[in-house]
Amino acid sequence: MIDLQLPASEKAIRRLNVGDRVAISGVIVTARDAAHHYLTHSDGREISGTLRDGVIYHCGPVVAQENGVWRFVAAGPTTSMREEVYEADIIARYGVRGIIGKGGMGDKTLAACRKYGCVYFDAVGGLAVVLAQCVKRVVAVYKLEEFGEPEAMWVVEVEKFPVTVGMDTHGRSIYQEIESRSAARRNELLARKSA
Amino acid sequence: MLEGETLTEAIVEMIRRSSCSIPRDVQEAIAQAAEREAPDSGAQTTLRLLLENIRLAGQLSRPVCQDTGALLFYVRCGREYSQRAIRAAIVAAVRAATQRSYLRPNAVEPVSGKNSGDNTGPGVPYVEWEETESAGLEITLLQKGGGCENVSCQYALPDAALGAARDLEGVRRCVLDAVHKAQGKGCAPGIIGVGIGGDRATGYLTAKHQLLRPLDDRSPDPQLAALEARLFDELNTLEIGPMGCGGRTTVLGVKAGVAARVPACYFVSIAYMCWALRRHTLVARPGEEVAYHD
């Protein structure tokens, strides 16, 4: 297990390879569909400082508020591919060093990872309670009223948040590799008609 | 008869149990799959983490997954019950369960983009009804997450590109294609509900009904049972693996059912369910305590 402390340096990120298991500690920001749209069409002023050398987490958490303090109850990753249209631009503009999500992303993001020094981390989909336990505190929340709880940008401090590198800065993507291998197998099965 | 506040509270308890646990058959399937994976592989580690997550969710009474899904209620009751009263109790229970963080606010009005904040809105929660011969009430809840709903799909046969004709071999080809296309995006390993026939709406309803069957249930139709078994084996040779990161476990089950079709149409509807299949049932028999089972 490799420990990664945020904010991350470009050098530390470029050292990572597909398959590396990483424990992330520091401040990360949740962002999904509405937030990605917002970050693309604004200067994201309230959050840009946190995003520089920081990490975006594709997640819409279940939260609870007790005595005015927010707490993460369940917080696994959401499907990343929906943000493919935005992510490369956001990596370039905000200097993001890592994206956490599930299911992987496409060619545009992979190219941006290589060019700007960013990696895609695979978190286990549905690992909501285990991952929420890694969230030590909610630092701030933006756009809560406007976007609603799942879509708001939650700034949280995490400790030893477990992920695996799915796409690295060297142009490798585990998802592309699995996709093409399983496509070959699918074609074999389609060539074999009824038993 | 279960009614009013008591009924609402019983439904809240069912929602809590559903959201914070995974049925035993699914847990066992994940545990068995973990044993089949290569020792210390990423796939094995992932599957074991899922089991740990399920254990922790139960212990802390927290949702197994933050996407607590679309709420699909299946009600079976005797004629002594009023549908309006049950619907009102379901709506009140859903609001209370959201308030208590058993459910994420998951109902977004598409035009305004506003989240209602309490899981109610046009068309939700969804309730299906069946009147039974005997007295009593049975409510089953299925929670279906959005990631796996996005990779669910429907084919109209014949499909020239797939070489899929209007027969069970055509159905097989659709399922192979759909699960390949889904990769890990539906939170593999998935449970695959297949609806054969029907119209565009009832085809999907039929597919989702299959997700209510226990994993060890086999179709009473021998041809469908054979198709289910064959697809289960074949899909697991795709090696898409947990979360699409490779491995021997791509699906935990395949269940197929039929609905009559009009002669012009032959739909194959595929309801992809993530590993976090959440279903729970409340049973209220006359003169007995309310009981729950997965």
What tokens appear for B67 in the block?
A: 């996407």
pLDDT at res. A155:
98
Query: What is the spatial distance between Cα B55 and Cα B219, in angstroms, rounded to a whole number?
Result: 31
Q: Dump pLDDT digits (tens) for B215-249.
A: 999 999 999 999 999 999 999 999 999 999 999 99
**Average pLDDT score over residue span A21-26:** 98
CA angle A28, A33, A37 (to 5 degrees): 95
**Average pLDDT score over residue span B115-143:** 97
Task: Find chain A residues with C-beta within 8 A of B104's C-beta.
Answer: 60-62, 74, 149-150
Residue B179: name the closest of A95, A170, A185, A142 by CA.
A185
Which B-chain residues 74-103 have CB contacts (< 8 A) with chain A?
101, 103
Chain B, nearest residue to A121 by Cα: B245
DSSP bridge pairs for B127: B73
Q: Dump pLDDT digits (tens) for A138-163.
A: 999 999 999 999 999 999 999 999 99
Task: Find chain B residues with C-beta within 8 A of A148's C-beta.
Answer: 105, 108, 114-115, 117
- Domain ranges for chain B: 4-19+64-145+278-293, 147-273
CA A88 to chain B, closest CA, distance in angstroms equals 20
DSSP labels, chain B: ---HHHHHHHHHHHHHHHHT---HHHHHHHHHHHHHSPTT-HHHHHHHHHHHHHHHHHHHT--SSS---EEEEEEEE-TTS-HHHHHHHHHHHHHHHHHTTSS----B-TTT--B-SSS-BTTBSEEEEEE-SSS-EEEEEEEE-HHHHHT-EEEES-BTTTTB-SSHHHHHHHHHHHHHHHTTTT-SSEEEEEEEES-HHHHHHHHHHGGGS-TT---SSHHHHHHHHHHHHHHTTS---GGGS--S-SEEEEEEEEE---TT--EEEEEEE-S--EEEEEEE-TTS--EEE-
pLDDT at B125 over 60: yes
3-class SS letters over chain A: CEEEECCCCHHHHHCCCCCCEEEEEEEEEECCHHHHHHHHCCCCCCCHHHHCCCEEECCCCEEEEECCEEEEEECCCCEHHHHHHHHHHHHHHHCCCEEEEECCCCHHHHHHHHHHCCEEEECCCCCHHHHHHCEEEEEEEECHHHHCCCCCEEEEEEEEEEEEEEECCCCCEHHHHHHHHHHHHHHHHHHCCCC
Query: What is the spatial distance between Cα B248 and Cα B233, in angstroms, rounded to a whole number?
Result: 10
Selected residue of A30, A179, A182 to mutate for chain B interface (largest B Cβ count, 10 A): A182
pLDDT at res. B212:
98
Sheet architecture: strand order including B190-197 = B153-156, B267-273, B190-197, B251-259
- Domains, chain A, ordered by start: 2-191 (3.20.130.10)
How sure is the predictor about A193, in pLDDT bands with cuts at 50, 70 and 90?
confident
How sure is the predictor about A192, in pLDDT bands with cuts at 50, 70 and 90?
confident
What tokens appear for A31 in the block?
A: 């962002």
Query: What is the spatial distance between Cα B27 and Cα B41, in angstroms, rounded to a whole number?
Result: 20
Helix axes B168-182, A174-191, angle to 10 degrees: 170
**Average pLDDT score over residue span B183-212:** 98
pLDDT at res. B225:
98
Chain B, nearest residue to A74 by Cα: B66
Those residues whose C-beta lies under 8 Å from the C-beta of residue B155, and which sit 6 or more positions away, are B162, B164, B174, B177, B178, B267, B268, B269, B270
**Average pLDDT score over residue span A108-129:** 97
pLDDT at res. B165:
97
pLDDT at A194 over 80: no
pLDDT at A2 over 60: yes
Chain B, nearest residue to A105 by Cα: B185
Choose, from A36, A37, A41, A58, the residue flagged as catalytic. A36
Beta-strand pair B70-77/B137-144: antiparallel
pLDDT at res. B245:
95
* Assigned fold of B4-19+64-145+278-293: 60s Ribosomal Protein L30; Chain: A; (3.30.1330)
Cis ω before B158 (30° cut-off from 0):
yes
Query: What is the spatial distance between Cα A181 and Cα A34, in angstroms, rounded to a whole number?
Result: 34
pLDDT at A69 over 80: yes
- Cβ–Cβ contacts within 10 Å for residue B274, how many? 26
Residue B61: name the closest of B114, B88, B97, B33 by CA.
B97
* Residue matched to tokens 């060297």: A170
Amino acid at site B225: A
> What is the CA A152 to chain-centroid distance, rounded?
15
Which B-chain residues 15-74 have CB contacts (< 8 A) with chain A?
42, 46, 49-50, 52-53, 56-57, 60, 62-68
Q: Dump pLDDT digits (tens) for B51-65.
A: 999 999 999 999 999
A36 assigned to active site: yes
Please give the backbone phi and psi of residue B234, each rounded to the nearest 5 degrees, phi first: -65, -45
**Average pLDDT score over residue span A78-87:** 97
Percent of chain B with pLDDT over 70: 100
Selected residue of A32, A59, A73, A127 to mutate for chain B interface (largest B Cβ count, 10 A): A127
**Average pLDDT score over residue span A98-119:** 98
pLDDT at res. B176:
98
Give, rounded to a whole angstrom, the gap between the first and last alpha carbons of chain A.
Answer: 46
pLDDT at A195 over 90: no
Selected residue of B66, B99, B173, B235 to mutate for chain A interface (largest A Cβ count, 10 A): B66
pLDDT at res. B226:
98
* Residue matched to tokens 């729950």: B292
Task: Point out the residue among A78, A122, A179 whose CB comes nearest to the CB of B147.
Answer: A78
Residue B270's Cβ-count burial label (10 Å; 0-12, 13-18, 19+) is buried
Residue A91: name the closest of A66, A119, A67 by CA.
A119
Those residues whose C-beta lies under 8 Å from the C-beta of residue A116, and which sit 6 or more positions away, are A91, A92, A95
